[in-house]
Each structure stands twice: as structure tokens, then as C-alpha cells.
Amino acid sequence: MRANSLSTWFDRNIRYLLLVPLGALLLLLLAYPFLFDVYLSFQESQAGRTLGFAGLSNYVRLLSDARFWQSLAFSLRFALTVTALEVFLGLGIALFVDRYLVKNQWVVALFLMPMLVPPVLMGIMFQLMLNRFVGVLPYYLSALGVNFSFLGRQGVMATLVAADVIQWTPFAFLILFSGLQMIPPALREAAAVDGARGGQVLRLIVLPILLPTIGITAFLRFIEAFRTFDLIYALTGGGPGNLTTTVSIYIYKTAFEQWDFSGAVVGSLVLLVLAIVPLLISMKVVFRGEGGA
Amino acid sequence: MKRATLVYFIAAVTAIVLLASPVQAQQLPTLNVLWWPGPEGDAMQEVCNYWNEHYAEAEGFTAQVLLTSRVGWWERMMAALSAGSREFDVVMTATYELANMADHLVPVTDQIDTWNLFIESSLDAVRSGGKTYAVPTDITIYVPMYRTDLIERLLTDPEWQQTYTEIASQYLGKPLEPKQPEDWDWDDLKAVSLFFTRSINRDSPVPYGIALPAKNIIYNVFVWNGILWSMGGNWFDASGNPALDSPEALEAMAVYTDLMEWNASPDESINWEYPELQLAFGSGQVAIILQAIAGYGELINPEQYPQVYDKVGLMPNPGNHATHTHVLGAAVNKHSRYVDEGVRFLQFLATEPALRIYLEGAGNPPVPNLMEAYAAERPHFPFLSANAVQYGFVEAVQGQPAPVQYFSAVAEELSAGWALVVSPEEALRRANERLSGLLSR
């Protein structure tokens, strides 16, 4: 009888038991550093040493630092711009490939190539390609009589956005193209039989079904773009001044140039709290979309 | 058959283990020297090889170089030191990292008696709180480099000279005449930069007079700091209070902001540093760059820069010629198991034979005797040595070389001024404020 009840308990809870090893590992890898970060945020630290309890002073210092808010504003502006462009372009390319090139898989592979380049390498490549004196792009532009300073005062923001869009539009394309492939052809065929034209099929059938995928794509790109570091750091170092400093660059410089680990940790924690808001919104959009589908 | 093969295999493995064991037992301890890759790493490897060949047995330990990527090197090393790592015994340090590292290093002031070999400013760069923590192994200074062919013609062509004077009158309000580079003040440098800017002088053989290193990065502050000091300025006044709001600082800022406003330096130089300056000068597109002297060694290489290799001139900073000194050095990790061995290795490293090996392995040891002796192989060495000896300075904060925190803060604020994003006065005010904040921590 007792063995029977044990067996029943085991059967009922085996799913949780199987999660224990992974859960313990995650706890070790995530919970410990997180708790240590919280501890460090209340400590005064310098050059890797903790100097004692600091109360809320690290939080006050960060929240009253105009440079932190500037970096946050820049990250937000940058992330919104590139996300909008990448999702729009990614969707356009996905629709084009889905319609005209779906059988040519090498085209899909070709579109994905920029995504495979490490961002820091992308930054260095852009530095060389856009260099006024040895860069390939200024060379051809000047042959056409166009003289544009890609990393000068007027052009730097557009250049950073373009570099990110070139690198990450393939990511948006990949997810959206996969989403398009999941739509049963019968739906479109039925709509066509009913007399719907291409634009109507897109607006009334394809886009509503694709909406959760678009939401997920936008969310993933927004999060990634918001915490961009390497591409911008390689191209501008966050400058001039802190004109192109993202939150990640701000945190990095606080930690490894100011050697203020407590300040950097506070920046990360504030960022975590701020990230929860778009996360909740996007999850709501995604799940509502799924329900509707 | 199979069984016999297995027996032979086991016998062979046993024999190898037995033969290897005594060797293992006799192996000397190894001193790990943490360095970064590139010429410095190659040079240190040569020193370790020499040590292992000639001294290891008598001294009772061998030395080996551990190399980790230059990208993020300081971050990784500082994290390891802070964690009390014993994975390395001797570690590379730098002028701007010494103050942060000093707590984890062993002072070697009294253990080494060959300090007189070294350039004094290079020793200032590795001292903290009156103690010396490292043997300087590489030195860099920051000076203008110019196109000799262009300046020679400017000094001899009456038509060019007349245009030069007109341009100087128009932009600087002074009818300047061309001078030999070593006699320039900063206005002369500005005038030459203007003269060789095609948008100002359409007959200029190059599109831009100068390329300024104006990116938000600490190394660019090293360059600008030379300008400040050469005008008699400093980050701090005699009482140790921040003094970046001084007239000298404003004048030093004006060297950048004037040239930027006049488009004498390319607009994108607001995001340029060492490599971009090398490309600009090396491709024959600018007349002057303000550069780390290491750049000269590359620019005179005909394979690397065929357009300019025989037209590169070096000059001291205009003004009083002060030049920022940046040094790499070898120090002993306090947490190491082999502190004594580390100190003995540094004693060896601080000798002329060891530093000669380091130099031959592509290092730049701040030892005037050696630098003079290698003038044929490294033509810039005598200039580097003489300028570092006479005009080299180390920016100090409270008795130690200014740490990276200070340079990073100053770079961030001043780069906004260099790029004309904020006014020079505002950039200096903010930089001063950041220095005050750092001092108060």
C-alpha cells in the first residue's frame, strides 16, 4: 500500500524531480551572481576591492548622473530606430523571397551572411570601408562627386544605424521567413479562389497570422539593440563626448575604466528593472496574438 | 594475437610512465610571466628563452610567457589580481594602471640596483607612493610627425611662403613666416596645417593639413596632454586642485578646436585614433599627425607605406617640448607562490644584457645607452631617448601616475570639446568637475 502511494507520488512529481539538476545549475549560475550583484550595489568599491557598506549612495550617485540618463536615452533612440528598420526590411525581404525565391535556398544563406560576422569585427570592417582615405565606399562616392563624412559629426548616427541594420536585418528576415513558411498554403489559395488580391491576402491573412512572430522579432531585436556594445564601441568608443554611449558602454566604462564595480552593478540592476516593462508588454502582444490565431 | 598486442601496449605505456616520472620529479618550478601578444610579447619570450638557457638551472626556476589577447587585457588581468590569482607570477603593468594595481604588486625599490640605467620619467611612470613597483620595459612618447618633402618646399618656395603668410594673417591674425619644425610654436603648427588644407589653399598637394586624434579614448588624451604641458599647463595646480579651467588648458583646447573649425583636420577625425592616423599619413593625404612615436617605425617601412616611407619627419612638441611619457613594465604579483623568484627575474630583467635581448626582440626599453646603440636599426630611438630624457613627463595624482579613471573621464569630456559638440570652455569645466569628483572619492 505504502509502496503504491510512493510510486504514485513519484509518478506525479517526476517532472519536477527531473528539473532539479538543471534548476540547481541555473541557481548556481544565475542566482548567486545576481545576489552578489545586489550585495555589491550596497558596497563602496574601488579597483576591485570593497571598502564597506555604502547604503543607497551608489543608487543615488547613478540616478543623479546625467551621463547615465543620456546613455539610456541614446540606447532607446538607437534601439527603436534600428528595430523598426530591421523588422520592416526583414519582412519585406521575407515576403519577396517567399514569393519569388523560395526554391533557391542559397539566396537565403546569402542573406544570412552579415549576421555571422562578430559585431566587433563588423565595426572594424566598417572603420576601414568608410575611411575617407582608404575606404572603398568614400572612394566610389567621391568618383560620383559625393563627399560624405560617415563618421563625422553629421553622419555618425546614420552610420551606426546603417551598420546595425546591415548586420541584423538578416536575423529579422530569418525569423519572419520561417513564420511565413509556417502559414498553410491552403489559406492563401482559398483566399485567392474567393477573389482576394495579393494586397488583400497580405493584409487580411498573412500579416494577422504573422503578428506574433513580428512581435517576437521586434522584441528580440529591441533587447539586443538596446544593449549594443561592440559595434558602437569599435566605431566611436561611445563618443564624441558621450554622444553615442549606449547603456552597455556606460556600464563597461564604469566598471573597467572607472574601476567602479558597485556603480556598474547598480547600472545593470536599474537596467534589469527597466527591461521588465518592455518584456511584459511584448509578452502580452505575443500571447494575445497567439490566442487570436 | 590480440592479447599479445594488449600486453605490448600496456608494457609500452608502463615504460613511458616510469621513464617520464624521474624527469617530472626533477623539473624546475616555472615562473609565469603574464604579458600581451605582439612585439612586447615576442620580446619577453626572447628574454625568458635566454633565462632558461643561461640561468634557470643555477637559479632553480624556469620562466615562460603567458599570452592572452590584447583586447580586454587590463580588465582580465585586474579581475585576476583582485581575486588574488596565483596563476601568474610576473605581470605587465602600465603607467595608467599602476595605481590600481599597486596593492597587488611587490615593491622592488631596494631590490634592484640598476635603476640608473633607465630614463627618469620612465621610472616616474612605475612609482606609486614613493615606491617603485616595476622594471620599465617599453616607453612611448607622443609628438608631431610631418611630411619632410612638403615642409622643405615650404621653406624654399617664395610663392608658397607668400601664400603661407597670407593664410596665417587671415586665420591667426599674425603674418607668420615658415620656420624649421623644431622652431615651431603651436601657432606655426596651426599655420602649416591651414596651408596644407586644400579647402583653404587650393594649391595644397594634400587634402588636409593635419589629422587630429580626437576619438573618445584615453590614448588621445596622452597626445593632448603634451600640448597642455608644452604650454606650461597641468591637470592640477600647486595645491593639487584640478586646474583644467586654466588659460593654458583653454589655449591647448584651441589647438584642436581651431583646426577642427577650419576643417584643417578631416571631420571624421573626431572618431580617429592611432590606426586611422597612420592610414591618413601613410596614404599621403595629410601633412602632419600628432602620434605615438611607435607610428614612426611603421611609417618608414617602404613595404607598409610606399608613398611616404622616405618623407617622414619627427619633431618635438612645439612650446616647451614637454611630452607625455607612457611606459609598460614588469612587476611581481604579490599573491604569487614565487615572489622571491619573481624579484630575481626582475633583477635580471633590469640589466643591460636582458634589456638588449628585449630590444632586439622588438621591445622599446627606456635605456638611453641601448637606444643610442640601436639607432641604425630603429632610427627614431635617439630622438625618443633624447626627448624622453629632456622633456618626458608623467601626469601624477597624489604621488602616483594618474590612473585610467582620470584619463577616461578627461577623454570623455574633452572629446566632446574637440569634436565641437560642446564649447571648449564647457568641455574643460566638465573635465575639471570629473577630476574633482574622482579626487573626492
CA of A269 vs chain B CAs: smallest distance (Å):
20
What residues in A contact B253, CB-CB < 8 Å?
A: none
Q: What is the pLDDT along chain A (293 residues), one digit of tens a residue?
A: 567 788 888 888 888 889 999 989 988 898 888 999 999 999 988 776 778 898 999 999 999 999 999 999 999 999 999 999 999 999 999 999 988 887 777 888 888 888 888 888 999 899 899 998 889 999 999 889 888 889 998 899 999 999 999 999 999 999 999 999 999 988 888 888 888 888 888 888 899 999 989 988 998 999 899 989 999 999 999 989 889 999 999 999 999 888 889 999 999 999 888 888 877 877 776 666 554 44
Q: Which amino acid is at B277?
A: L
CA of A159 vs chain B CAs: smallest distance (Å):
12
B421 touching A, CB under 8 A? yes
Residue pLDDT, tens place only, B316-362: 999 999 999 999 999 999 999 999 999 999 999 999 999 999 999 98
Residue B97 pLDDT > 90, yes or no?
yes
Q: How far is CA A39 from CA A260, A270, B51, in A?
A: 14, 14, 46
Residue pLDDT, tens place only, B218-227: 999 999 999 9
pLDDT at B313: 97
pLDDT at B403: 94
Query: Using CB atoms, which residue from B100, B268, B280 is nearest to A149?
Result: B268
Q: Do A257 and B405 touch (CB under 8 A)?
A: yes
- Residue A283 grid cell: 509578452
B410 touching A, CB under 8 A? no
Given a contact cutoff of 8 angstroms between Cβ atoms, the answer to whether B263 and B280 are in contact is no
What residues in B contact A237, CB-CB < 8 Å?
A: 215-217, 271
Residue B113 pLDDT > 70, yes or no?
yes
pLDDT at A289: 56
Residue with cell 502580452: A284
- Residue B20 grid cell: 617520464
pLDDT at A293: 40
Region at B336 (left for phi over 0; alpha for psi -120 to 50; beta for the rest): beta
Residue B262 pLDDT > 90, yes or no?
yes
Q: Residues of A128-159 as b/e, b for ≥16 C-beta within 10 angstroms?
A: eebbbbbbebbeeeeeeeeebbbbbbebbbeb
- Taking the mean position of all CA atoms in its chain, how far away is CA B238? 27
What residues in A contact B427, CB-CB < 8 Å?
A: 241
- 3-class SS of residue B287: strand
Average of pLDDT values for B298-317? 97
What residues in B contact A154, CB-CB < 8 Å?
A: 267
pLDDT at B22: 47
CA B44, B45, B51, B56 dihedral sign is: positive
Hey, which residues 20-79 in chain B have their CB within 8 Å of chain A? 71, 74-75, 78-79
Pairing of strands B400-401, B396-397: antiparallel
Query: Which H or E run contains B209?
Result: strand B208-211
pLDDT at B52: 97
Within A68-132, strands assigned E span: none
Distance from the first to the final alpha carbon of chain B: 78
Confidence label for B14 from pLDDT (cuts 50, 70 and 90): low
Within B69-164, strands assigned E span: 90-94, 127-128, 131-132, 135-147
From CA B182, how far away is CA B390, in angstroms rounded?
15
CA of A115 vs chain B CAs: smallest distance (Å):
22
Largest CA distance in chain A: 91
From CA B319, how far away is CA B229, in angstroms rounded?
9
pLDDT at B283: 95
From CA B216, how far away is CA B196, in angstroms rounded?
26
Q: Which of B216, B257, B333, B438 to mutate to test the interface with A (most CBs of A within 10 A)?
A: B216
Coarse DSSP helix, strand, coil percentages of chain A, rounded to the nearest 5 percent: 80, 5, 20
Q: Is the peptide bond before B424 cis (omega within 30 degrees of 0)?
A: no
Residue with cell 573621464: B409
From CA B364, how far away is CA B329, in angstroms rounded?
11
Residue B25 pLDDT > 50, yes or no?
no
Q: Which of B271, B283, B405, B439 to mutate to test the interface with A (most CBs of A within 10 A)?
A: B271
Give the residue among A245, A221, A251 at the shortest CA–CA distance from A233. A245
For A129, nearest residue in chain B (alpha carbons):
B276
Q: Do A131 and B279 touch (CB under 8 A)?
A: yes
Residue count (chain A): 293
- 3-class SS of residue A156: helix
Given a contact cutoff of 8 angstroms between Cβ atoms, the answer to whether A235 and B271 are in contact is yes
pLDDT at B23: 47
Residue B1 pLDDT > 80, yes or no?
no
CA of B280 vs chain A CAs: smallest distance (Å):
6
B214 touching A, CB under 8 A? yes
Query: Using CB atoms, which residue from A150, A240, A259 is nearest to B100?
Result: A259
pLDDT at B15: 62
Give the residue among B154, B147, B208 at the shortest CA–CA distance from B179. B154
Between A12 and B102, name the one with better pLDDT: B102
